[in-house]
């Protein structure tokens, strides 16, 4: 055989097979995956720096993996193809966007985080001790972060200034700075409880303490959307428990009225939003103790603009660039869309059109069905994933922009950790 015919050595894989390099690389990846979300008490910059680093490290592992390991990431099936279809359906919204370059960046971010969520469970469970690092780091950092937040809000406000910039040390400014961190607490809670009870003994106490302190953070920052997140987490798990041991007919009997009630509430909210153009004289038809006046006006404006371009929308993450979005609201004073619409359903409808909204809803429902089946099979981590899904999607009905990278990362990383837990059980670890 001639020298030219000899196969070229894979240098990356040759280095990677070194057990020492592989061991520490996987453990560093596991450690970062565990600390990145609870570390958000220092600010959203934690996610903007560490999540891309985690993604880059995951890409290195993916490129150096064997074909059979890559096959574990792409399993095909209805859910996988639905995700591909969703991303494809959203591409026309990128093309017709009023900010096409910006919308393309959001589309790529979504695709990258979906890929990361699929890859991480495989890589985190390649070594059991590495995955244990992830869970222990998640528990410890969550306890530390929640404790610092609680102390900064209720006891000694200057503490927060030691870990992030704060203009004026006070309980008010601490609560203001930590409001987004409060939104993370209901997402963390189900994963923390599962991880703590998985290890048992002292780790249960750590998990319970972190969840209790997280509740105090939510109370201190007065984040009502986060309270909805706790309700969503509990609701998703309770519904799944209720459906677990009943017949198919009874499931239908239970789910149909529930879905009808959710639909009725949605229709009631939409039909009672302020009519546009809003001049400040119209009384609010939804109680302001339930939904504040400004948020009602935001939703009314976004819905009105969405109906102008109902099929493909205005482009991903462009709601605050729409005509009139920057105008001040009469009497209220703030703009019609300050940064984002504060509701993921209205935001996707407005920015990706009805086709985008239907495709996203389809993927979410298929994913929830898969999680339910996994949980019903006895996988405790899947119950945590269901709780996380309830916390994220319910709180996002009145919370941050669904496209914000740090907020998507909360769901993507924590879901990857929960899915890794299910995978570890399937592999007997």
Q: Looking at residue 10, what is its pLDDT?
A: 54
Least trusted range by pLDDT, from 13-17, 67-71, 422-426? 13-17
Residue 201: pLDDT above 90?
no
Is the CB of residue 375 less than 8 Å from the CB of residue 387? Answer: no
Say what percent of the chain tops pLDDT 90: 69
Neighbour-count burial of 288, counting CB atoms closer than 10 A to its CB (0-12 exposed, 13-18 middle, 19+ buried): exposed
CA gap 372, 332 in Å, rounded: 43
Residue 403: pLDDT above 50?
yes
Is the CB of residue 274 less than 8 Å from the CB of residue 296? Answer: yes
Residue 84: pLDDT above 70?
yes
In this prediction the pTM is 0.92
Residue 243: pLDDT above 70?
yes
Least trusted range by pLDDT, from 20-24, 79-83, 147-151, 176-180? 20-24
pLDDT band per the 50, 70, 90 thresholds, residue 60: confident
Residue 429: pLDDT above 90?
no
Q: Compare 378 and 261 and report the one with higher pLDDT.
A: 261
The tokens for 189 are 């809670």
pLDDT digits (tens, 9 = 90+) for 179-191: 999 999 999 999 9
Residue 209: pLDDT above 90?
yes
Q: Looking at residue 316, what is its pLDDT?
A: 96
Q: Looking at residue 68, what is its pLDDT?
A: 75
Residue 99: pLDDT above 60?
yes
Residue 3: pLDDT above 50?
no
CA gap 193, 388 in Å, rounded: 11
Residue 76: pLDDT above 70?
no
pLDDT digits (tens, 9 = 90+) for 317-359: 999 999 999 999 988 888 999 888 999 999 999 999 999 999 9
Residue 1: pLDDT above 70?
no
SS (H, E, C) the chain: CCHHHCCCCCHHHHHHCCHHHHHHHHHHHHHHHHHCCHHHHHCCHHHHHHHHHHHHHHHHHHHCCCHHHHHHHCCCHHHHHHHHHHHHHHHHHHHCCCCHHHHHHHHHHHHHHHHHHHHHHHHHCCCHHHHHHHHHHHHHHHHHHHHHHHHHHHHCCHHHHCCCCCCCCCHHHHHHHCHHHHHHHHHHHHHHHHHHHHHCCHHHHHHHHHHHHHHHHHHHHCCHHHHHHHHHHHHHHHHHHHHHCCCHHHHHHHHHHHHHHHHHHHHHHHHCCCCCCCCCCCCCCCCCCCCCHHHHHHHHHHHHHHCCCCCCCCCCCCHHHCCCCCCECCCCCCECCCCCCCCHHHHHHHHHHHHHHHHHHHHHHHHHHHHHHHHHCCCHHHHHHHHHHHHHHHHCCCCCCCCCHHHHHHHHHHHHHHHHHHHHHHCCC
pLDDT digits (tens, 9 = 90+) for 8-48: 555 555 554 556 777 888 899 999 999 999 999 999 888 89
Is the CB of residue 368 less than 8 Å from the CB of residue 389? Answer: yes
pLDDT digits (tens, 9 = 90+) for 291-315: 999 999 999 999 999 999 999 999 9
Report CA-CA distances (Å) from 6 to 1, 9, 17: 7, 9, 21
Mean pLDDT across the stretch 139-161? 95
């Amino acid at each position: 055989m001639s020298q030219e015919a000899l196969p070229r050595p894979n240098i990356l894989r040759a280095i990677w097979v070194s057990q020492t390099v592989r061991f520490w690389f996987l453990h560093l990846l596991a450690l970062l995956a565990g600390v990145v979300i609870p570390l958000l008490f220092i600010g959203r910059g934690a996610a903007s720096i560490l999540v891309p680093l985690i993604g880059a490290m995951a890409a290195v592992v993916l490129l150096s993996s064997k074909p059979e390991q890559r096959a574990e990431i792409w399993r095909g099936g209805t859910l996988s193809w639905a995700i591909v279809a969703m991303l494809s359906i959203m591409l026309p919204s990128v093309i017709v966007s009023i900010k096409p370059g910006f919308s393309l960046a959001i589309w790529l971010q979504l695709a990258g985080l979906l890929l990361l969520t699929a890859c991480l469970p495989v890589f985190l469970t390649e070594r059991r001790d590495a995955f244990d690092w992830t869970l222990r780091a998640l528990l410890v950092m969550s306890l530390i972060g929640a404790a610092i937040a609680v102390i900064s809000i209720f006891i000694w406000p200057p503490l927060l200034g030691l870990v992030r910039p704060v203009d004026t040390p006070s309980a008010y400014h601490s609560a203001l700075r930590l409001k987004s961190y409060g939104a993370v607490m209901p997402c963390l809670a189900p994963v923390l409880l599962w991880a703590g009870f998985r290890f048992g003994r002292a780790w249960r106490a750590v998990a319970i303490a972190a969840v209790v302190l997280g509740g105090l953070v939510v109370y201190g920052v007065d984040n009502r959307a986060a309270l909805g997140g706790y309700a969503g987490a509990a609701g998703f798990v309770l519904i799944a428990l209720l459906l677990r041991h009943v017949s198919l007919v009874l499931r239908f009997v239970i789910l149909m009225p529930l879905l009808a009630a959710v639909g009725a509430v949605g229709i009631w909210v939409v039909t009672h939003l302020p009519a546009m153009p809003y001049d400040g004289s119209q009384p609010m038809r939804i109680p302001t103790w339930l939904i504040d006046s400004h948020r009602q006006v935001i939703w009314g404006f976004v819905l009105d603009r969405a109906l102008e371009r109902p099929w493909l929308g205005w482009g991903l993450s462009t709601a605050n660039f729409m005509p009139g979005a920057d105008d001040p609201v009469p009497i209220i004073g703030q703009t019609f869309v300050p940064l984002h619409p504060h509701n993921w359903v209205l935001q996707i409808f407005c920015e990706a059109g009805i086709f985008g909204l239907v495709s996203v809803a389809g993927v979410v429902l298929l994913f929830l069905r898969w999680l339910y089946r996994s949980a019903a099979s006895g996988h405790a981590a899947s119950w945590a994933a269901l709780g996380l899904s309830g916390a994220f999607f319910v709180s996002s009905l009145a919370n941050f922009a669904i496209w914000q990278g740090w907020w998507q990362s909360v769901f993507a990383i924590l879901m990857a950790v929960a899915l890794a837990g299910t995978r570890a059980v399937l592999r007997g670890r």
